[in-house]
Amino acid sequence: MARKTPIAADLKKILSAGVRESVALAPYATYRIGGAADVLVEAPSELELIRALQYVHKSGISFFILGSGSNLLIDDRGFRGVVFNLGPSLPAHIEVRREDDEHVWIRVPAWYSKAQLLADALDRSWAGLEFSAGIPGTLGGAVYMNAGTKWGAYADVIESVRLYHVQQGVIEKTAAEMGFRYRGHGEASLGRESIVLSVDLKLVKRAQMQTSKDLVQEILAYRGDKQPLERPNCGSVFKNPENSERGAGRLIEAAGLKRHRIGGAMISDKHANFILNVDHASSADIKSLIALVQAEVEKQFSIALEREVIFV
């Protein structure tokens, strides 16, 4: 149960709108799991967002940045502190920074939907984001996780990232400085003290986009065929191990764990790297199933699976 905190009253003095107390987080997460946050903030502007972050940091209150709620497992006990929901209340538009005959450089807010960005790029005849077809979430989350598929990753098109750091203020880092790696970033680049404000991307101009559109449809069809999108889930639960010829899903399947169930959580029989909320699963159900998978794969194949899903 969320608790009343005086921080909410203080935040209401700082922000013109968007401060609520004891807000259930399950509706904000693709798992549809999660207790209440003490305070949920939906700042109406980037400036007010920064002011609120500054205040929360100085107060010593814990905070968490919520984008679209994908790739997260929020505890049923909720979050003790302030959750910043970056999305519906913040203005979102693509800024063309410069362009030449072959390329366009754009700046996109961190809370911009990956799906919307891809659609906008296709409409404007910009290529380079086709790999992102079907990836849920926002661009900020893509930076944090270096989201991608076998067709590519955001690190391939990111030029720089604009961040707010609680001690340094607004700073900018190049892609090289971010230290992108498979499904992650350089450990020193991001963390609890930094949030992504916007991302600069370099895309390719194309007069004819049919090849790009065909690839997007191919990827969407592949994901629809291979991935269980009909039940609440967080996407891939585990990273593919670097020291194995088989991906995480294949290893889990080989361990005989498809359709294994704990409480309301079940390993998908369509893709074993997906754990589904099939019947009002609790966060404990999901965590228990994750622990079971890690133990069995380690036992049978001597491979330690690393979680991709973030526990909140």
Closest CA to 123 of 82, 101, 143, 94: 94
> Out of 162, 183, 223, 231, which one is annotated catalytic?
183
- Choice among 46, 253, 296, 308 that is catalytic: 308
Selection from 134, 105, 122, 266 nearest residue 198 by Cα: 105
Instruction: Specify the residue for token string 């107390």.
Output: 21
Q: Using only the alpha carbons of the chain, give its radius of gyration.
A: 20
174's CB contacts (< 8 A; 6+ apart) are: 159, 160
To the query of whether residue 183 is one of the catalytic residues in this protein, the response is yes
Q: Is the distance from CB of 127 to CB of 204 less than 8 angstroms? A: yes
If one counts every other C-beta atom within 10 angstroms of the C-beta of residue 14, the result is 15
> Nearest-CA neighbor of 55 among 166, 162, 163, 165?
166
Active-site choice (194, 236, 268, 283)? 236
Q: What is the dihedral of CA 83, 120, 218, 271, to 10 degrees?
A: 0
Active site annotation includes 308:
yes
Helix (H, G, I), strand (E, B) or coil at 236: coil
- Which residues are tagged catalytic? 183, 236, 308
